[in-house]
A = this chain, B = another copy of it.
Amino acid sequence: MEEKETPPEELEQTVVLLGVSPSTKGYPHPSQSSTHALEWTLEKLIRKSCRKEFKLMILHVQVPDEDGIDEVDSIFATPSDFAEVAESDRKMSHRLLEFFTQKCHDAQVPCQAWIKVGDAKEVICKEVKRLKPDILILGSRGLGPLQRIFVGGVSDYCAKKAECPVLVIKRRPEDMPEDASED
């Protein structure tokens, strides 16, 4: 008779919350920094022999456009155009999360993933407050101080404000694109 394994729920797991973002090229491409952050987590943190002791949660915060509309000319847009755009955004966000959850699946690490809409840094801190993860992991482009002024780092903000330990994973120097603000 096969020995019954302890269901993961019965262990006091380390809850890891990973925030992921799309590429600066746009949806549904994943950003290089989020991809690297997940790969690092699967390789270095959630080690093979202790997969069951971790719970991985993947959050994507979809940033609404300032006028709430993206691909449609806002002057001639009808309510149904808005609805279509919202639907298309939702699909794109789902495709982005599929990329990350597939990676977890391939590494045999179970995960949960969900989407929120709003300002990324504020939503992430709010979700930390709500879910109380043990650790928040964020990728970072690793920009210099001058570039930071213009780009405004989500990871910088969360490292200071989030109410849990925060791990910031910068891109490796060898992965850095010529224009470091690309991601």
Residues from chain B with Cβ under 8 Å of A44 in the complex: 14, 134-135
A80 at the interface (CB under 8 A from B): no
A180 CB–B CB distance under 8 Å = no
State whether the Cβ of A159 lies closer than 8 Å to any Cβ in chain B: yes
Query: Which residue of B14, B49, B53, B165 contacts A167 across the interface (Cβ within 8 Å)?
Result: B165
The reply to whether A167 and B166 contact each other, CB–CB distance below 8 Å, is yes
A100-145: which residues lie under 8 A (CB-CB) from chain B? 134-135, 145
> Please, how many angstroms separate the alpha-carbon atoms of A162 and B108 in the complex?
31
Q: Is A50 an interface residue (CB 8 A)?
A: yes
User: What residues of B have a CB within 8 angstroms of the CB of A47 in the complex?
Assistant: 14, 50, 53-54
Q: Residues of A at under 8 Å CB distance from B?
A: 14, 40, 44-45, 47-50, 53-54, 134-135, 145, 159-160, 163, 165-170, 173
List 11 other contacts, CB 8 Å, given A50-B50, A135-B167, A159-B168: A45-B45, A47-B53, A48-B50, A49-B49, A50-B53, A145-B160, A163-B173, A165-B168, A166-B168, A167-B167, A168-B168
Can you name 22 A-B residue pairings with CB atoms under 8 Å? A14-B44, A40-B165, A44-B134, A44-B135, A45-B135, A47-B50, A47-B53, A47-B54, A48-B50, A48-B53, A49-B49, A49-B50, A49-B53, A50-B53, A145-B160, A159-B159, A159-B168, A165-B167, A165-B168, A165-B169, A167-B167, A168-B168
